[in-house]
């Protein structure tokens, strides 16, 4: 199988692309509306939600300049790494009012763009890349968080919609100032 053949087999139809794009928009709106339990319902039981540490490194002339070399590998220190149970704990804490950095809550707007969709290696699985901009405002403070995401969506068992199986978030910044409860 040639590389072109493999890429062609991973291409999605326009309808699939639109369906995935709508899912991303819906997901962002749920988070902006603070409908965290509805958002949580979109997660697979085996979800992996990870934000690796991104470090600056000197690169040699013969380096391939791969972004992956800047990211902490799985198993090493991560900014965030959560499964289904940990995400539930985070959301419960958010909803309890006891997450002091989120009470009062931020006003947020998420923009999702540069969406790329490919078929995964399993039936009903999609590999999705996107860029995001999250702007949040509270009590005279404003933060803008920019980055990209690498997601894996699985078609929902009912056949309509998707569930999030994996999300890897690559932040453009190398700072921890965003707070522990930001859901991107």
Domain contains 51: yes
Give a yes or no: residue 23 inside a domain: yes
Confirm if 130 and 152 have CB atoms less than 8 A apart. no
Residue 37 lies in a domain: yes
Within a domain: 25? yes
pLDDT of residue 174: 56
Nearest partner of 166 among 46, 26, 16, judged by Cα: 46
In-domain check, residue 50: yes
Which residues form the domain of 116? 3-171
Q: Which of 8, 79, 88, 78 is nearest to 44 (CA)?
A: 88
**pTM value?**
0.84
179 in any annotated domain = no
> What are the start-end ranges of the H helices in the chain?
3-10, 14-32, 36-40, 84-96
Q: What is the per-residue pLDDT across 57-70, written as a single tens digit (0 to 9) for each? A: 667 777 766 666 66
Q: From edge to edge, which strands make up the β-sheet containing 78-82? A: 78-82, 43-52, 162-171, 141-155, 125-138, 107-119
Q: What is the CATH number for 94?
A: 3.10.450.50
> Is residue 62 helix, strand or coil?
coil
Q: Cα dist. 113→53, 75, 116, 151, 171 in Å? A: 23, 30, 9, 13, 15
Provide the CA 99 distance to its chain's centre, in angstroms: 21
Q: Is residue 164 situated within a structural domain?
A: yes
**Which of 37, 36, 77, 35 has the alpha carbon at shortest distance from 55?**
77
| DSSP calls for 20-32 | HHHHHHHHHHHHH
Tokens 């972004």 correspond to what residue? 67
Per-residue model confidence (pLDDT) at position 170: 87
* Number of domains comprising the chain: 1
The pLDDT, as a whole number, for residue 58 is 65
Q: Which stretches of the chain score pLDDT less than 50?
A: none
The answer to whether position 183 is within a domain reads: no
């Amino acid at each position: 199988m040639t590389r072109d053949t493999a890429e062609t087999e991973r291409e999605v139809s326009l309808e699939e692309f639109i369906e995935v794009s709508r899912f991303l928009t819906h997901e962002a709106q749920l988070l902006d509306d603070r409908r965290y339990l509805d958002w949580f319902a979109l997660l697979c039981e085996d979800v992996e939600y990870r934000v690796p540490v991104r470090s600056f490194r000197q690169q040699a002339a013969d380096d391939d300049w791969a972004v992956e070399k800047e990211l902490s590998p799985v198993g090493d220190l991560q900014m965030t790494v959560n499964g289904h149970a940990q995400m539930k704990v985070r959301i419960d804490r958010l909803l309890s009012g006891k997450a002091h950095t989120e009470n009062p809550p931020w006003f947020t707007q998420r923009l999702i763009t540069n969406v790329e969709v490919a078929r995964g290696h399993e039936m009903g699985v999609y590999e999705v890349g996107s860029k995001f901009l999250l702007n949040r405002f509270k009590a005279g403070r404003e933060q803008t968080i920019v980055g990209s995401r690498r997601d894996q969506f699985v078609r929902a068992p009912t056949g309509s919609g998707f569930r999030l199986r994996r999300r890897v978030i690559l932040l453009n910044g190398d700072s921890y100032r965003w707070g522990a409860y930001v859901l991107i």
